């Protein structure tokens, strides 16, 4: 087992910087050996943050090839969406453990190519889907894997987050406006499904005994973003005159080999007062619903509702029970820390990742698949079986603290490794 994981870290924009600062730079068993970005000022800022955290100043480069040539165990890719797959393939071909921030492919061909490289190299790949380690998502997973919801029949999830003022138009007049805006201008698809599909995928054991078979997406008209541009940037802004292709609400239904349905929703351009992932799990014996903060098991006179203390006391996943007793760390209620640890532990132990190459690539495929379906008026499209039949007999991912396919009690692996 490795004591120290040496990392090459690429992409130091808002998200990359924040995860470096609040997670990886705080891990004594992680050495950020080399950092890479196309902007020198970002590299400098990141170097400073590492030094400030008492860590060695990393090598710094604008060349990804130079990064890959370093003596590193793993590559962490925190760039914009376009670079995820090309950079991941290069890292895997260089024999590195590879992590990518969330995001989707733009075309199915990229997905096939990525899985080919995985199968050719065997280099483990992991999407850093933090919501798989969300406390409520893991609580539901805990109940599912213990059989308390009975047979699982249906899951809902959504990305309900009004983005114009906090993301899409926030830095629109700066040097580097958010690259996502171009996707809203030119594409119409479920372009951001993994925060909900990731946890649902684990609930339904996708790629390990189950798989997605078909996908249908429908998009509403697109009027919210133009209205938002008018309101936020003014009538004269060029963004207030664009015809955005991205529909305001995209509804996607996925059918699974074992008969379950999954409903996803992209909802980012119409005003709403609260963020939600609308995470919902329905079984023959019980349910979890994020919107009503409800756990219900058959036979209960009343659900546990709007009472987090009682809910976590009864149903918390052991990982979160331990984590909350220690005090959480990092952003997004601590789940960022956990997903980063999950990756690092895999590298240390030389095992496959809990969100593995097949998970990663099948989730990345949702955007192009939904784009096809919408373009065909909502016609169902086939979800490729990237495992090529291996889903029929694949075992749960390696057991351990961060396993998402089973509930593994593991007190030996520290969430906060010592210096």
The residues of the shown chain that bind a copy of itself, judged by CB under 8 A, are 150-151, 153-154, 214, 216, 218-221, 223-224, 227, 231, 247-249, 251, 253, 255, 258-261, 263, 267, 270-274, 282-287, 291-292, 294, 296, 298, 300, 302-303, 305, 377-380
Give CA–CA dist 44/5, Å, rounded: 22
Q: Which residues, in sequence order, are bridge partners of residue 212?
A: 256
Give CA–CA dist 203/138, Å, rounded: 9
Answer for the pair 210, 385: CB distance below 8 angstroms, yes or no: no
CB of residue 370 to a copy of itself, shortest distance in Å: 12
Longest dimension (CA), the chain: 62
CB of residue 393 to a copy of itself, shortest distance in Å: 21
CB of residue 251 to a copy of itself, shortest distance in Å: 5
Give CA–CA dist 376/219, Å, rounded: 11
CB of residue 188 to a copy of itself, shortest distance in Å: 12
CB of residue 268 to a copy of itself, shortest distance in Å: 12
Counted residue by residue, the chain has a size of 419
Q: Residue 125: name the closest of 43, 207, 70, 63 by CA.
A: 207
CB of residue 209 to a copy of itself, shortest distance in Å: 15
CB of residue 383 to a copy of itself, shortest distance in Å: 13
- Taking the least distance from each CB to a copy of itself, the nearer of 187 and 263 is 263
Give CA–CA dist 261/306, Å, rounded: 27
Give CA–CA dist 95/90, Å, rounded: 9
Residues in CB range of 266: below 8 A, 6 or more apart: 158, 159, 190, 191, 192, 193, 249, 250, 252
- Taking the least distance from each CB to a copy of itself, the nearer of 231 and 322 is 231
- Taking the least distance from each CB to a copy of itself, the nearer of 270 and 321 is 270
* Residue 156 C-beta-side C-alpha neighbours within 13 Å: 15
């Amino acid at each position: 087992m490795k004591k120290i994981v040496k990392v090459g870290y690429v992409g130091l924009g808002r998200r990359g910087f924040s995860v470096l600062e609040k997670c990886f730079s705080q891990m004594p068993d992680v050495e950020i050996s080399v950092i890479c970005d196309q902007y020198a000022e970002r590299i400098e800022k990141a170097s400073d943050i590492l030094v400030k955290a008492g860590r060695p100043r990393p090598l710094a480069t604008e060349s990804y090839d130079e990064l890959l040539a370093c003596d590193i165990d793993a590559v962490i890719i925190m760039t914009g969406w376009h670079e995820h797959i090309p950079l991941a393939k290069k890292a895997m071909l260089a024999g590195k453990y590879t992590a990518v921030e969330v995001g989707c492919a733009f075309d199915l061909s990229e997905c096939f190519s990525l899985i080919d490289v995985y199968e050719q190299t065997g280099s483990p790949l992991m999407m850093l889907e933090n919501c798989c380690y969300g406390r409520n998502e893991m609580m539901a997973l805990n109940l599912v894997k213990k059989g308390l919801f009975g047979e699982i029949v249906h899951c809902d999830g959504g990305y309900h987050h009004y983005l114009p003022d906090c993301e899409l138009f926030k830095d629109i007049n700066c040097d580097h406006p958010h690259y996502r805006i171009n996707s809203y201008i030119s594409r119409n698809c479920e372009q951001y499904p993994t925060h909900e599909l990731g946890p649902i995928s684990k609930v339904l054991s996708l790629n390990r005994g189950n798989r997605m078979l078909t996908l249908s997406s429908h998009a509403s008209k697109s009027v919210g973003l133009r209205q938002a541009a008018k309101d936020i940037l003014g009538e004269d802004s060029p963004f207030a005159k664009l015809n955005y292709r991205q529909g305001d609400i995209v509804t996607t239904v996925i059918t699974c080999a074992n008969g379950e349905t999954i409903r996803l929703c992209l909802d980012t351009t119409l005003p709403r007062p609260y963020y939600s992932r609308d995470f919902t799990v329905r079984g023959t014996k019980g349910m979890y619903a994020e919107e009503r903060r409800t756990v219900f098991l058959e036979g209960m006179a009343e659900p546990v509702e709007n009472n987090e203390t009682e809910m976590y006391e009864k149903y918390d996943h052991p990982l979160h029970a331990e984590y909350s007793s220690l005090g959480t760390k990092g952003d997004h209620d601590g789940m960022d820390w956990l997903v980063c640890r999950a990756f690092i532990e895999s590298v240390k132990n030389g095992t496959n990742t809990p969100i593995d190459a097949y998970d990663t690539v099948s989730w990345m495929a949702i955007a192009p698949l939904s784009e096809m379906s919408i373009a065909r008026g909502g016609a169902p499209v086939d979800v490729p079986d990237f495992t090529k039949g291996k889903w029929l007999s694949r075992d749960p991912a390696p057991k351990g603290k961060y396993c998402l396919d089973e509930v593994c009690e593991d007190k030996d692996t520290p969430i906060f490794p010592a210096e």
